[in-house]
Structure 1
Amino acid sequence: MGGTEHGTMGYATRPVHPALRPYVGDVIGYASDAPPPEVHRGLPSRHLTIVVTLDEPLGIRWPGGPLEKHDALVGGLHSTAVVIAGTASRTGVQVSLTPAATRALFGLPPGELGSVVLDLDAVLGPRAARLTDQLREASTWERRFDLLEGVLLRRLRDRRPTTVRPELGWAWLRLCESNGAIGVQELASEVGWSRRHLTDRFVTEFGLAPKVASRVLRFERVTAHLRRHPRPRLADVAAAAGFADQSHLTREFQAIAGCSPRQWMAEELPNLPSNPQAAAIVPASAAGSH
């Protein structure tokens, strides 16, 4: 663990246990000494998400929907940003899960969680409340990570994972490897299915159509670049990510994030780690304050 602070927000992480690497992208602890922003955007990505707050419930709202509050939640793959608002929560733990994790850890396909946010007990049962209490009682990030890791390792050991068609696993892998650059027809040809059959099966398995997943992956590539390079030439970013031009990128950003790239950078980047896969350690005082 190591790194720097980013404004008023600090982060902690450590390498994922080898047995969990096919299922967990990263585990990040976060803590802030300042009041939370009025609105934060939970952007879509290739990962499902678990969040356990260490203080107050987290307010989540889908565009146009009501605000719902959660002490601990699981969110599926989605194609537009969720709004995080109406909350006093400043400290918590976030786990990024691969789609394969839902079958291995929860015994269900990721499509059953597609575009929804649920209380964590929907997939963990009563263990979710115990885990939340234990994480809040722990005095260090290392202890919190040990607790989370233990729960996930036990789930992996005790459950017999349901299987996914190899064609669908291959299609997801190809989309991720290409950052959404491969076309749906090419993808269908590679797996030996018709485009319609691939789309239907893909939606059932992942909760998103392959074309929509491609948009998310391409968008994710852009936001990851902006987090590493916060003063970019957007025209260059658009070209590198396969957009027709900067205007095309801006329209896509507006459709997915609900704001322009410049607005997102101004409002969100100061409180995010520069590398989405590598966060920084929080100050000792913040790490042990809950």
Structure 2
Amino acid sequence: MTADTITDVFEEHRSFLLGVAYRMLGRVADAEDVVQDAWLRWAAADRGDVREPRAYLVRVVTRLALDRLARIKARNEAYVGPWLPEPYVTDFGDTVQDTAERAVLADSVSLAVLVVLESLSPLERAVFVLREAFGYPHADIAAVLDRSESAVRQLAGRARRHVDERRPRYDVDPVQRRELTERFLAAAAEGDLDGLLDLLAPDVRLVGDSGGRSKAPLRVLESADHVGRFLVGVTRKSVPDLSVRVLELNGGPALLLLSGGTPDSVLQLDVADGHIRTVYVVRNPDKLRALAA
């Protein structure tokens, strides 16, 4: 391969590799570092024996991500307040035509699922991501991880049961979710407590992630009254040159709040049965840098 061909082959798969790495690590910066390390290995590798570049690169990225997971776990254990994954832009555009495939990819990158994946072992997480998000056969995953196929099947079954037991048990209607997001934005912007209470489920939860770097609840807020009053209180505080954008993050609509053009917060909602079940708020500036563009 020429230098141009080597680069073109890698760039063809970069987006896919970033998707694998992000689902395993939950942080865009870490995922990008892993993909960059994979590029360096690809550029230096003897590619004469590489028949399937994507399979080779997925193997490299998965192993690099597994190595990094141990460090990330130690870092998250010392985290101040609730931890949420870094918001991740997921505009699938025309790259995914199949509606069912699009739904699987969106679900596998949702904040709710990624939070659950944090409680898996590194190997379970790798197997879950490759199997559930990208549909890899057990035999192919075994080759990636250098494990027997039977061992991979056991890991896959254990990870699947664990996620099913802890993930939200409701179907998401994309149209309803976007409609509720827009109504939520209008009510919050107006400080309309009654309007918010109409949208919030009685047992709604608000999870705020600041990492101790900005103001956000250090514990999960529960109940419509507590969450509604908190949101109204926040909107009454002056934020200089505030603007709001609606964009797709982690497979669904989200609100990006900017102060003077700089990302200040991301809010995303989990909805079911016409009500908001969870409000996620990310305010750690380290997790908003990738959205500055």
TM-score under structure 2 normalisation? 0.30
Larger Rg: 2
Higher relative contact order (CA 8 A, sep 6+): 1
Higher helix share: 2
